[in-house]
Amino acid sequence: MAENLVEMRDLVKQFPVKGGLLQREIATVNAVAGVDLDIPKGEAIGLVGESGCGKTTLGRMLVRLLEPTSGTIKFDGDDITHVKGSKLKPFRRRMQFIFQDPYGSLDPRTQVGDSIAEGLRLHGVDSKDERHQRVTKMLELVGLRGAHAGRYPHEFSGGQRQRIGIARALVLNPDLVVADEPVSALDVSVQAQVLNLLKDLQSELNLTLLFVAHNLGVVEHISDKVAVMYLGRIVEMTDRESLYRQPLHPYTEALLSAIPIPDPDRPKNRQILDGEIPSPLNPPAGCHFHPRCPIAQEGICDVDVPRLAAADDNGDHLAACHLRTGDHQHLNRKIYTD
């Protein structure tokens, strides 16, 4: 097994909710409620979950755009959880972020070439010629022309802007790239192009990728491993094949059954979840999923928080479910065939 580039341990992010006359803190939202996640070098991990489950927050914490409330992040062996200022800068160079909204992530008053070159300028590529060269090369790598460097963002389409965003993230040759739903704002036809580009670049440049998405189909296409998040916690994590072939957590099952299949004759054994995703302001006790879970058992699931546990012997398939991988497997054992 490859060594881990990123190790996150018990990572928590709380946002204060302010209210009342004096803007006092009246509650906290647990956007990320204790996540352990390892990302091996050179692999692409997909992170899926519904809106509001904390996946973007987790990605932003990883590249230190958000300050973790507690827990640790190790990057290539170094603890970067609370590194600040100039000490953080060398790490900034090695991890980059691709934003969801291609319209908001480029400075409208800066030529795209300068936007891409910003990282080079900040990290000591002083010669203007060299910057120009690398920007041109980068633009060509993402499928644009070098001459586009002198244009402004409003002259590009959404897909082109996302390519520019990718070029900006990759120009520093980072080790880790966090892509926050990079295609969800794009047309379906353009989505495929951008996804393929990301995938090619990932293998070409040997990138480690954390790919955040709410679309399992998109994640299947790009990632080696998939982590499923629900309400601030990771509920299942395994390699792509076993997840799609044999999901363990009931939430993952529901997610997978929601993928539309373009075959009208195929029986629709959709598993529709009841209710809304609960508010992270006031999450259910025990397993966060139990109010919506088809197999939940009273007295077990609404009491204890399930931990991520291995379902198979070599420990590659992890799920957090009392009834499938935890101590109460006898109640609802899913036969694991591997």
In whole angstroms, how close is the CB of 178 to other proteins at the nearest point? 9
Output 79 or 107, the one with its CB closest to other proteins. 107
In whole angstroms, how close is the CB of 108 to other proteins at the nearest point? 7
**Pairwise CA distance, residues 309 & 226, whole Å:** 15
Output 95 or 190, the one with its CB closest to other proteins. 95
Output 168 or 214, the one with its CB closest to other proteins. 168
In whole angstroms, how close is the CB of 122 to other proteins at the nearest point? 5
Q: Give burial (CB, 10 Å; 0-12/13-18/19+) of 333.
A: exposed
- The number of helices, as runs of H, and strands, as runs of E, in the chain is 9, 12
**Pairwise CA distance, residues 325 & 301, whole Å:** 13
In whole angstroms, how close is the CB of 128 to other proteins at the nearest point? 17
Output 178 or 231, the one with its CB closest to other proteins. 178
In whole angstroms, how close is the CB of 57 to other proteins at the nearest point? 13
Residue 129 near residue 211, CB atoms below 8 Å:
no
* Residue type present at position 261: I
Residues that bind other proteins (CB under 8 A): 60, 63, 65, 85, 88-89, 92-93, 95-97, 99-101, 104-111, 115, 118-119, 122-123, 147, 150-152, 154-155, 165, 168, 172
In whole angstroms, how close is the CB of 208 to other proteins at the nearest point? 16
Residue 263 phi, psi (nearest 5): -150, 105
Output 131 or 168, the one with its CB closest to other proteins. 168
Output 36 or 101, the one with its CB closest to other proteins. 101
DSSP state of 130: H
Q: Cα–Cα distances in Å, from 84 out to 4, 77, 176, 220, 264?
A: 23, 17, 19, 35, 55
The angle subtended at Cα 37 by Cα 78 and Cα 73, nearest 5°, is: 25
Output 172 or 222, the one with its CB closest to other proteins. 172
CA atoms within 13 A on the CB side of 122: 17
3-state secondary structure of 181: coil
In whole angstroms, how close is the CB of 139 to other proteins at the nearest point? 13
